[in-house]
Structure 1
Amino acid sequence: MLDPARNGTPRTGDTAAGRARTGLLVVGLFVLVLYVIEIINTLMLHSLNRTFGLRPRNLDGILDILTFPLLHANLAHLFSNTLPLIVFGFLVLLSGLRVFFTTLSLSWLASGVVVWLIGGFNITVGASGLVFGLFAFLLVRGFFNRNWWQILLSVVLFLTYGGVLFGILPTVASFVSWQAHLGGAIGGVLAALLLSVPRAGPLRAGH
């Protein structure tokens, strides 16, 4: 997009460097908020988890869908989610804020709904559902968009992080919420489908 007020030069936010700076800022602030919440939660002996963690099939706690990804069992739990949140969040943000917030919102909602419907009896907290949603979006969007560069990125990400996909299986680890992971992944795929720009003809390079 060109800005006439700047003699036809691209706006800073429309350049790759501008999107990268915005991406680092947004995902950095989001992760910072998670750490601030976790520090407060720790000082309160994790009482926030009991109040705002997601309780499956509990009508009184259905609004906890909006809060449970912001809480964690402990700092180690949050730390394990930090790097993938930064990496996947940044890569999604390179496509713009609308794409990022749509993907994050659908992953958040789908993760919470699946946990609420089929989760176990324990309270669920953690941002791992968002991690799976962002990752799933990055894995499939290139195929919906028929974009070679996005498909190449998905292959690289799959070879690097593909092992985490076992986290959607109920038999892998009983101490994690595979329901949150599965729901987040479903949300990410839905976001990729919703945001796809299908074009007739051969695969394109694109951005």
Structure 2
Amino acid sequence: MQEKKFEFTTNVILIPFLFLLGMWSVYYLNWRYFLELNEFGIYPRTLEGLRGVLFSPFLHGSISHISNNSIAIIVLLSILYFFYKEDFWKVLLFGWLFSGLGTWLIGRESFHIGASGIIYVLTSFIFFAGMRTKYFRLMALSFFVVLIYGGSIWYLFPDVEEGISWEGHLAGFLTGIVLAFTLEKRQYEPIYKYDWQHPDFDASEDKFMKHFDENGNFNPKPKNYIELNKPKRSISYLEYSMIYSGKVTYEFNSYSCNFELQIESPYLEFLP
């Protein structure tokens, strides 16, 4: 698991811009030359209506309709590419396809147009995918999306506003949820500023933590402190040659040829 670094590239702005350019170009041609392109929208449960799965996101009925969708598209597509670059095309293309097919299956017998289905795909995917990763930055992003688009949840239900394709909204929202839980879960590691924040931190091996006793009391040790984990018995000179720099005296016994060790230090002690 590696630390995740989000990098800004020109595609963060370029791709949403190209999408908007297509939306506004089609809207201008439809308005300027009366091409009646709205008939290329999704018409549920008819073979001819399937073409709307591809074309409906570029079709809009009024200037307010396309304006509202444009703001959401540029914000959400930019967020998706910046934070979920690895899944961007999967979310966009599969979301486009399945939200359209869902509208075709459950929609009323009318032409369903607009990019709202894709907008609901992006909204639900960003929210649920962020909560699923449990990565603090993406979870914060999820709550940001709720803050600015949470009110749109009401347009998933029928009869909230006349002329609104709630079926398209619902199909897009459900598609986003499915994508959030079926695409590969991304693993992100937070930035650790201190050693003790790492999951594999071992306090027993930390030099500073060794200054605390078993009861959690701060008991600093001298710089040259040596722990003796020897059983209590006689120690010969050859067995232990490196000793804490304290007062050490040796008493020579001519019969047994043993050295007896006497150390004056409150920090050196023989453990039973």
Partners of 2:169 and 2:57 in 1: how far apart? 11
Question: 8 Å contact 1:149–1:205 — kept in the other structure?
Answer: no
Q: Deviations over 1:97-148 (max 9, x none)?
A: 5422211122212221121111112111100111111111111112222222
Alignment partner, residue 190 of structure 1: 178
Q: 1:107 touches 1:185 (CA, 8 Å); kept in 2?
A: no
Aligned-partner Cα distance in 1 for 2:141–2:6? 20
Q: Which residue of 1 aligns with 2:139?
A: 151
1:175 partner SS: coil
Equivalent residue for 1:83, pick from 49, 67, 71: 71
Question: Do the aligned partners of 1:109 and 1:187 also contact (CA within 8 Å) in 2?
Answer: no
Matches within 5 A, 1:1-207: 16-18=7-9, 21-50=10-39, 52-95=40-83, 97-197=85-185, 204-205=189-190
Residue type at the aligned position of 1:137: F
AA aligned to 2:22 is: V
SS at match of 1:16: coil
Q: Helix, strand or coil: the match of 2:25? A: helix
Contact 1:108/1:187, CA 8 A, preserved across alignment: no
Report 1 or 2 for greater relative contact order, CA contacts < 8 Å, sequence distance ≥ 6.
1
Check conservation: 1:133, 1:185, Cα contact below 8 A.
Answer: yes
Unaligned runs of 5+ residues in structure 1 are: 1-13
Q: Structure 2: where are the runs of 5+ without partners?
A: 192-272
**Is the CA contact (8 Å cut-off) linking 2:42 and 2:50 kept in structure 1?**
yes
Instruction: Figure out how many residues of one structure are paired with residues of the other and give that number.
Output: 187
Q: Quick one: structure 1 residues 175 and 135, their matched pair in 2 at CA, closer, same or farther if it must change by over 3 Å?
A: same
2:202 corresponding residue in structure 1: none
Q: TM-score, normalised by structure 1?
A: 0.82
Tell me the TM-score normalized by structure 2: 0.64
CA contact (8 A) 1:70 1:127 kept: yes
Give, in whole Å, the separation in 1 of the partners of 2:132 and 2:139.
10
More helix by share: 1
CA–CA distance in structure 1, aligned partners of residues 64 and 34 of structure 2:
15
Instruction: State the alpha-carbon separation in 2 of the partners of residues 167 and 27 from structure 1.
Output: 24
Indicate if the aligned counterparts of 2:8 and 2:82 stay in contact, CA closer than 8 A.
no
Name the CA distance, whole Å, in 1 between partners of 2:52 and 2:133: 34
CA contact (8 A) 1:53 1:68 kept: yes
CA-CA distance at 1:46 after TM superposition: 4.8
Query: How well do the aligned residues superpose, as a CA RMSD in angstroms?
Result: 2.1
Q: Which structure 1 residue ranges, 4+ long, deviate > 4 Å from structure 2? A: none
Give 1 or 2: higher strand fraction.
2
**Whole-Å separation in 2 of the counterparts to 1:196 and 1:152:** 20
Report if aligned partners of 1:147, 1:204 keep a CA contact under 8 Å in 2: yes
Larger radius of gyration: 2
